Each structure stands twice: as C-alpha cells, then as structure tokens.
Amino acid sequence: MSKRDYYEVLGANKGDDAKALKSAYRKLAMKYHPDKNPGDAEAEAHFKEIGEAYSILSDDEKRAAYDRMGHAAFQQGGGNHAGGQGPFAGGGAADFSDIFEQVFGDAFNMANGRRGGRQSGPARGADLRFDLEISLEDAFGGKETTVEVPTAMNCGRCEGKGNEPGTDLETCGTCAGAGRVRRSQGFFTMEQTCPQCGGRGQYVKTPCHDCDGVGRVRENRELSVTIPSGVEDGTRIRLTGEGEAGAQGGPRGDLYIFLSLKEHEIFERDGPNLYCRTPASMVSAALGCSIDVPTIEGGKAEVKMSEGAQTGRRMRLRGKGMPRLRGGPRGDMIVELFVETPRNLCDRQKELLKEFCELSGDNCNPDSAGFFNKVRQFWDDVTTEDGHPHN
C-alpha cells in the first residue's frame, strides 16, 4: 500500500509556512473528526492520516527529513532506497495522538467528554527551609527544641472559606455555580473552567477580615525538633510532611532545618576534633606545671606541661572531642600552647629579669643562639673576598 504525500494529505504545498500548515490541518481535522462522522470508518482513517501528516510537518526536524527522504525517513528496514534506516525509523511518526489537543488547546474539553481535559489535580506542597543556629554545646549533647516556622495555614476566622463569618458566599453568575462554562468554536462546543470564579462556582462577596478573602493566613507554627548529638555546620534535618500544605488536598511538602553552629569562645571545631588555644605564662612555661583546660562537656582536664614548653606545642586529649553523627569513637581535643610574654612590669620585676638575664647563657635560649649563629654565618658568606659586602 503506497502512502500519500503528507503535503497532499493536508492539501498544502511544500513551501507553506507553519501557520499555513496549521490552518490547513485545523480545517481538515474538524471536517473528518470522528465526533462529526459517527460510525464512518473512512472518515476516521482520514482523520488519522491528517494527524500523522501534521505531526511530521509541524516538527521542523522531521519536516526537513521528510523533505529530503520522503516516507523513507520514517520507515523501518527494507524497501528503503536511502540505504538502511531513516533517521526517525521505528516510531518517529507514531506519536501524533495528542496533536489535536495541541492545536485546539488543551484547556478545552470536548463537549461529549470523549477526551478528558488535563486537570491540574492535587499538587504536593512546597518544601520549606528553616535556618537554625545552635551552640557547640547543643551540637555536642544533642537537643530537643521547638522552632517557630512561618507557613500558610487555613484561616481560623473563616475556616478557609474566605467570607466573613455570618455572610454567605455568592453563586457565580457567569457559570451559575457550575464552575465550568461552555463556548462554541467551529463545530465543537468547548468546556472550560469558569474564568470568573476560577471553577469554585461561588465567590466571596464580603471578605473575611483576617485573610482578606484568601482563606489562608501566614502563621507561625511551633514544631519540635530533635537535634542529634554530633551534628555539624550545614547538617540538614528533614521533617517529613511539615512543609507547605498541598493544593487541592495534595500531600504536604517537607520542612528542612538547616543547622549552623555559633562560634565558640574557647573551642574551635574541625570535624570530630576540638582545638583549644591555651595561654601559659612565661614562668609556668619555663618551670613546667600542670594546667586545667576546659572540656566541651563542661568539666576540666589536666594537661601537664614539661619544663621549657614552647609556643605551638600541642597536647592531644584522646576522646575529648565531638561525638560523630553516624556513631564511632569521639574525636580528640587538641590543646595548643602559647607562651605569654609578661607585660606591665614594675621596677622590681624588671630588676629581677635583668639579673636573670645576666645569669643566662646561650644554653637557656638555644633557639636564639642557633639563629644568631646562622645569621653571622650568612653575613660572612655574602661578604666578597675584598672584604666588601654585596649590595
């Protein structure tokens, strides 16, 4: 069976633009539509042929392929003089069932209900984000807390209906309360959602004082949140079904709590580990001593400092860091020492230090001694043979 040329099927010419093709299709589709020709198999076949032709010619890419190769572009396998399969072989022309609705607009329903219009239907509510700042101690121990989340709620005054209590909703005059209106287009009667009342069939004449007739108000909702121990900066907690209410009875969205950690005065966190920079006086560092450092649980731990401890010295307290969100051993606390040079000295103190200095030799300050030896060597090396330094 030979196939008719698509342009011939539509009664169009090869050079016609998209608008002309669409118009040709509309005319023929109405003429051969099965609703206008009940029980007429020939008309139905014709209607399908028109649909197929238009589905190809209304698609720029497919139209170009058809212009180049004819029907061979959409046939599978043999009998194809172009050699092998066309670019759209295996179903390229099959999907034209929706073409009628696309051309005539999918907002319309066929009056006899043979084609159901696309309805928006119940939609899932939006997900909400809520930012919550917590302390390091809360991240350490976990916490039960309540948050106030602003969200859209049904208005309590009008129970979501939108009219002021004691007044009635008015029946829509445009659709007489049906919510849908019919109108004629060509041979068909189309049905569409009433533009006046948005399909409700009624409208608010006296708007509710609280919600201005919307039926919904922004309200803060109190929700309890469990913050597990070990959370980190950026951890998200999902509260399923606590997002915005869905449209038309759709499911609620989710609420995501985004956690951020407040800076701590004493501890700095790095993953599971905690850093604590601890000062020691020059004298304590020189003589050695033990110092009490705070721990995140609120207690203290003793750290021993040996004689002559230097700035930057690190001591590790195993298992005194943060817990891990997914379990496992606690991190460590790392105490980093810095030696504080004494300030605001009185005359007597200065005298003692001068005396101390006179008693001190290179072995008291080996780093200084070593450094200045290197400096002297450096100056010697850059001095030329004639005794003058380089520039």
| Residue 216 binds Zn ion, judged by CB under 5 A | no
Least spacing, CB of residue 201 vs Zn ion, in Å: 6
**Cα dihedral value 265, 266, 268, 271, nearest 10:** -110
Tell me, by CB under 5 A, how many residues bind Zn ion.
Answer: 12
Indicate the residue type of 55: S
Which residue in 5, 191, 210, 332 binds Zn ion (CB under 5 A)?
210
The window from 35-43, 156-164, 240-248, 371-379 that contacts Zn ion (CB under 5 A) reads 156-164
Which CB sits closer to Zn ion, 87 or 179? Answer: 179
The 10 Å Cβ neighbour count of residue 245 is 17
Which CB sits closer to Zn ion, 162 or 321? Answer: 162
Least spacing, CB of residue 183 vs Zn ion, in Å: 13
85 φ/ψ angles, rounded to the nearest 5 degrees: -95, 145
Which residue in 9, 28, 158, 190 binds Zn ion (CB under 5 A)?
158
Least spacing, CB of residue 153 vs Zn ion, in Å: 10
Which CB sits closer to Zn ion, 153 or 266? Answer: 153
Which residue in 24, 155, 231, 333 binds Zn ion (CB under 5 A)?
155
Least spacing, CB of residue 189 vs Zn ion, in Å: 17
Least spacing, CB of residue 109 vs Zn ion, in Å: 16
Which CB sits closer to Zn ion, 128 or 197? Answer: 197
Residue 175 vs residues 13, 110, 180, 204, 352: alpha-carbon distances, Å: 44, 18, 6, 15, 102
- Give the chain's length: 391
Classify 314 as helix, strand or coil: strand
Tokens at residue 375, please?
A: 């400096």
| Residue 65 binds Zn ion, judged by CB under 5 A | no
Residues 6+ apart with CB under 8 A from 62: 55, 56, 73, 74, 88, 92, 93
**How many alpha carbons lie under 13 Å from residue 241 in its C-beta half-sphere?**
3
The 10 Å Cβ neighbour count of residue 10 is 24
Angle between helices 18-32 and 41-57 (to 10 degrees): 170
316 φ/ψ angles, rounded to the nearest 5 degrees: -105, 125
| Residue 208 binds Zn ion, judged by CB under 5 A | yes
Which residue in 46, 157, 221, 313 binds Zn ion (CB under 5 A)?
157
Least spacing, CB of residue 167 vs Zn ion, in Å: 11
Binding pattern for the stretch 167-206 against Zn ion, x by CB under 5 A and - elsewhere: -----x-xx------------------x-xx---------
Binding residues for Zn ion, per CB under 5 A? Answer: 155, 157-158, 172, 174-175, 194, 196-197, 208, 210-211
